[in-house]
Each structure stands twice: as structure tokens, then as C-alpha cells.
């Protein structure tokens, strides 16, 4: 922003409502008298200024004080944002940006996708985050969370929580179901946001690269369960996520999410319609599909996301990943820790919406 210009005072005081200039006083005749044609010096009244002098004095005073406090910094901030936005658009147009082998576009995620999700996270669900420091500042880690809410908004909110609140600003790479990668538009956005297919090979590659990977073992059983079974964890599969963490030698961080269960209270499931559409379920809620598109609006519940104490796996030998009993015990330990934290958070919660 250009420096503010000083506008001098107008010579015509009558237009500004200022008092008229006092008349000039001539000295008395006598020793101080002048010959005819000579100009007598003018003695201004104490404290009065000529228009030119007033303008110069005001200019000097404003120049010394500088622009109003905050004006320059605010202008600089806007200029930086504008320059950054234009540079971002130029890189998008020219293709001068990078994606990794999984399609993750870090710049697009930081600049656009997180900005779109943040109002939902901060203003609508008012997410409270606890224990995010339990995720390591560097190196790989596997975050295991409960899954609920009909639509997988809990995974997206967990991604924003890690990105915005972790001291190292880490990115959470979510493992998603096959359905995500066959839906148009959703497929491309998921890849750009760092999501990848929920398979052991992809998860292990990410963990060995030092990424934070998120998995929700309940899958569709958790996200599509009836409202009457809210906050009751479903089966955690066969413990494949534990085997992956053991092979990569990374800690497992349990994560409990409260608030997502109530955004779409699922009171029924139209199974026939779900089969026709190729969906794992077709939810019936008090508002959907009865209110049409308006019924798809989630309820503004109050969320809490808590990351628990990490469970280390680097102390086990390499062959431990093939031990079914060890995998069962670790899976049960993670599940019990998440379930216990869910009950604890529910007891502490004052209301679903506050």
C-alpha cells in the first residue's frame, strides 16, 4: 500500500468552517512609521498561523508521527497475501508444483483444502483438541481412531486437528476405502489431500517414509451403524493395522472422537436402495431424505478429539508381525484404550451441542 498523502489545509477558511483570520495590525505612527509605499511588518497574534505556515506545520507533524498505527502492517500483510495468491495461481497454471507418488499436493492442501475445511472445524463443530503432542514431531506414526457419522467428516476434522494444532504442523495421511477412489471429483480431491487406499502396502510405504498415517479400522461398520449403537466400537477387523505398525516399527497413537455420532442420527437403512446405488448403506435420518438437500446438512454438534498415549512397537523383533496372538493383544489394547477414552469424554460432555 502506498504511503498516505498529506493533504494541505485549504487557503479558504470559510469553506472549512474555521474562524476568519484576524485583521492585520499596523504599528502606531512615530519613530516606527514608514514612508509611503513601504510595507509595514505584520505581527501575527500569538498562537495564530498563516495558511502556508499551518500547512507546513501539519505536514511536519504528520510526517514525524508516520501513518496510523497498524495501517502499514495491515497493508503489508495484504500485499503479501495478494502476492502469495498470485504466485500460487501462476504455479497452478504453469504446472510448477509437486505431488508425491501417491498424488499428495502439499501446497494445494495447505492453501486451499485446509482453508475450506477450517470454518467447518472452528465455527460449526467447534472442535476441541487434546493430546496432539502425543504424535511424534518427526518420524512415522500410525493414528488409529473410531469412525462414525454416516459421512466420513470425522477423518477430515482429524486431519485439520493434526495440521493446525501439532507443534510441527504435520500432515495426516488418511487410509480410505475403495469407494472413495471410484467416486468422480472425490477421488481427485482425496488424492490431492494425501489420502490413499487402505491397504497394508501403501500404509507401510508411508510409515517408512516418516509420515503420520491415519486409519479407522471400523470402516463402514462404524460409520453406518444405527444411532442406538453410538459410541460403541465395532470390530477392528483382523488387526492388519497392528501388523503394519510392527513391520514399520512405528508407534500406534489411539484417537477418540466425540461429537461425530450425532451429526446425522441414523434411524434406518434403506438396504434395497443402497444395493441399487452400490453403497454399503443408505441412511435414513430425521431430516434425510425427507427434507431433500436441506436434510443433508449436518447438525452443529460440539466435537472433542483426543489423542492418547502412544503404544510403541519398535521393541518387538521383526517376526512379531507374523504372530497372530501378539496382533490380537495389541489390537485389543488399542480398541480398549479408545473405548475407555470415549466413555470418559462422554461423561465430561455437558451437552451434545455445547
**pLDDT tens per residue, the chain (354 residues)?**
344 433 333 444 433 344 444 444 444 433 344 443 444 444 444 444 344 444 444 444 434 444 555 545 667 888 887 888 888 888 888 888 899 999 999 999 999 999 999 999 999 999 999 999 999 999 999 999 999 999 999 999 999 999 999 999 999 999 999 999 999 999 999 999 999 999 999 999 999 999 999 999 999 999 999 999 999 999 997 889 999 999 999 999 999 999 999 999 999 999 999 999 999 999 999 999 999 999 999 999 999 999 999 999 999 998 899 999 999 999 999 999 999 999 999 999 999 998
DSSP string over 180-197: GGTSTTHHHHHHHTT-EE
Closest CA to 195 of 216, 172, 219, 168: 172
pLDDT at residue number 343: 97
C-alpha cell at 106: 502439499
Residue 271 Cα distances to 55, 150, 230, 347, angstroms: 81, 14, 20, 34
| Contact present, 19 and 13 (Cβ < 8 Å) | yes
Length of the chain: 354
Contact predicate 284/271, CB 8 Å: no
Q: pLDDT at position 87, please?
A: 85
Distance CA 172, CA 193 (A): 9
The one-character DSSP state at 122 is I
Question: How far is the C-alpha of 221 from the C-alpha of 233, rounded, in Å?
Answer: 9
Strands 128-130 and 141-145: unpaired
Residue pair 21/47 in contact (Cβ under 8 Å)? The answer is no
Q: pLDDT value at position 119?
A: 97
pLDDT at 239: 82
Q: Phi, psi (5° rounding) for residue 15?
A: -80, -20
Give CA separation, 181 vs 128, 175, 185, 196, 312, in Å.
30, 11, 9, 9, 32
CA distance 330 to 12: 87
Q: What is the pLDDT of residue 262?
A: 97
113 contacts: CB under 8 Å, gap ≥ 6? 189, 192, 193
DSSP 218-272: THHHHHT--GGGTT-----TTSHHHHHHHHHT--EEEEEEESGGGSS---EE-HH
Confidence (pLDDT) at 96: 83
Task: Give the burial class of 277: count Cβ atoms within 10 A of its Cβ; 0-12 exposed, 13-18 middle, 19 or more buried.
Answer: exposed
Contact 37, 51 (CB under 8 A): no
Tell me what pLDDT residue 72 has.
53
Amino acid at each position: 500500500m502506498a504511503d498516505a498523502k498529506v493533504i494541505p489545509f485549504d487557503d479558504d477558511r470559510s469553506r472549512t468552517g474555521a474562524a476568519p483570520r484576524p485583521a492585520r495590525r499596523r504599528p502606531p505612527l512615530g519613530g516606527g512609521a514608514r514612508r509611503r509605499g513601504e510595507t509595514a511588518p505584520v505581527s501575527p497574534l500569538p498562537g495564530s498561523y498563516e495558511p502556508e505556515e499551518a500547512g507546513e506545520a501539519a505536514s511536519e507533524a504528520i510526517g514525524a508521527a508516520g501513518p496510523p498505527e497498524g495501517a502499514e502492517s495491515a497493508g503489508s500483510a495484504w500485499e503479501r497475501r495478494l502476492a502469495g495468491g498470485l504466485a500460487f495461481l501462476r504455479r497452478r497454471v504453469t504446472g510448477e508444483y509437486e505431488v508425491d507418488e501417491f498424488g499428495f499436493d502439499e501446497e494445494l492442501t495447505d492453501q486451499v483444502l485446509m482453508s475450506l475445511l477450517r470454518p467447518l472445524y472452528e465455527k460449526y463443530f467447534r472442535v476441541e483438541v487434546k493430546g496432539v503432542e502425543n504424535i511424534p514431531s518427526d518420524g512415522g506414526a500410525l493414528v488409529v481412531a473410531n469412525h462414525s457419522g454416516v459421512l466420513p467428516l470425522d477423518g477430515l476434522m482429524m486431519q485439520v486437528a493434526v495440521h493446525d494444532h501439532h507443534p510441527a504442523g504435520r500432515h495426516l495421511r488418511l487410509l480410505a476405502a475403495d469407494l472413495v477412489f471410484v467416486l468422480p471429483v472425490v477421488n481427485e480431491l482425496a488424492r490431492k489431500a494425501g489420502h490413499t487406499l487402505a491397504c497394508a502396502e501403501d500404509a507401510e510405504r508411508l510409515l517408512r517414509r516418516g509420515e503420520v498415517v491415519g486409519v479407522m479400522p471400523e470402516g463402514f461398520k462404524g460409520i453406518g451403524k444405527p444411532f442406538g449403537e453410538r459410541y460403541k466400537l465395532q470390530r477392528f477387523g483382523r488387526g492388519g493395522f497392528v501388523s503394519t505398525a510392527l513391520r514399520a516399527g512405528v508407534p500406534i497413537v489411539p484417537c477418540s472422537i466425540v461429537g461425530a455420532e450425532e451429526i446425522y442420527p441414523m434411524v434406518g437403512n434403506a438396504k434395497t436402495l443402497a444395493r441399487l446405488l452400490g453403497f454399503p448403506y443408505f441412511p435414513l435420518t430425521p431430516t434425510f431424505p425427507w427434507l431433500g438437500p436441506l436434510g443433508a446438512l449436518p447438525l452443529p454438534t460440539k466435537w472433542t478429539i483426543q489423542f492418547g498415549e502412544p503404544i510403541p512397537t519398535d521393541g518387538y523383533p521383526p517376526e512379531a508381525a507374523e504372530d497372530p496372538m501378539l496382533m490380537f493383544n495389541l489390537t485389543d489394547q488399542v480398541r480398549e484404550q479408545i473405548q475407555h477414552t470415549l466413555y470418559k469424554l462422554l461423561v465430561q460432555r455437558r451437552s451434545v451441542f455445547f
